[in-house]
Amino acid sequence: MTLFPRLLLMLLATAPLLAWAAPAAAPVEGQDYELIAEPGPFAPLAGKIEVVEVFGYTCPHCAHFEPQLEAWVAKQPADVRFTPVPAAFGGYWDSYARAFYAAEQVGVRQRSHADVFKALHVQGSLPVQNVSPDELATFYSQYGVQPQRFVEALRSPQVDDKVKNARAFAMRVKVTGTPMLIVNGKYLVKGKTFDDTLRIASALVARERGTGRR
């Protein structure tokens, strides 16, 4: 076999490996993300790269995204801080935003988070609209929270303040829908699919760390 065909065969054999090893394209402003006009993290913390998800419990897309997002978050290094922020767009959005922060206040937010999505979108045991404080308190009682305690948390000024902050953040970064990822208060991610959204978020996290391409 002459040298040229031998080289050609070697290139063909390694082509899949070369394609696999090729770096992903850097995110493009306007296509993959928007720069936030008034930048700033939701809850800044020194040494941390913040990734916020603005979500709604009543949003079916958020429910479908949750398992994939949870797996992505679990793989992030220690310098990445993931912060879920409930969308407070008014009406039933606010009811479930209050439920999120009340659950946080009584110490069951992490244990109950995925189950709220299931109750709304799989089991139908919570109503999407016009959910009452008593219905929410009954739901959260399965995590050992006394119903009266949960209702008090739901109506507390602390929860009022957190919902107001969540609403102000979503307005400042100009959230247009849910789920929406915001990286370090600078970038509004515009993925076409859930996979694409997480790919872009990973690249922007790397950029903030100083190792990604601009």
Top pLDDT among 54 and 3 is at 54
Alpha-carbon distances of 159 from 12, 135, 151, 162, 163, rounded to whole Å: 61, 18, 11, 5, 6
What would the pLDDT profile of 148-161 be if each residue is shown by its tens digit?
999 999 999 999 99
Give me the CATH number covering residue 195: 3.40.30.10
- Section 183-208 average pLDDT: 97
Assess if residue 13 is contained within a domain: no
Alpha-carbon distances of 32 from 51, 66, 117, 190, 200, rounded to whole Å: 16, 21, 27, 5, 7
Our CA dihedral for 48, 29, 68, 170, rounded to 10 degrees, sits at: 70
What would the pLDDT profile of 77-95 be if each residue is shown by its tens digit?
999 999 999 999 999 999 9
pLDDT at 122: 97
DSSP-H helix ranges across the chain: 3-21, 60-74, 92-105, 109-118, 133-140, 147-154, 157-172, 194-209
| Residue range of the domain that includes 64 | 28-209
Assess if residue 15 is contained within a domain: no
Residue 127 has pLDDT above 70, yes or no: yes
Phi, psi (deg, nearest 5) at residue 173: -85, 0
Residue 13 has pLDDT above 90, yes or no: no
- Residue whose tokens read 């929270």: 145
Half-sphere exposure at residue 192, Cβ-oriented, CA atoms within 13 angstroms: 4
Assess if residue 123 is contained within a domain: yes
Assess if residue 12 is contained within a domain: no
- Section 59-81 average pLDDT: 97
Yes or no: say if 203 and 212 are a contact pair by the CB < 8 Å rule: yes
Assess if residue 95 is contained within a domain: yes
Assess if residue 194 is contained within a domain: yes
Residue 141 has pLDDT above 80, yes or no: yes
- Residue whose tokens read 């391409």: 213
How many domains does the chain divide into? 1
Residue 212 has pLDDT above 80, yes or no: no
Residue 20 has pLDDT above 60, yes or no: no
Assess if residue 204 is contained within a domain: yes
What would the pLDDT profile of 162-176 be if each residue is shown by its tens digit?
999 999 999 999 999
pLDDT at 23: 55
Assess if residue 190 is contained within a domain: yes
- Using a cut of 0.85, tell me whether the model's pTM lies above it: yes
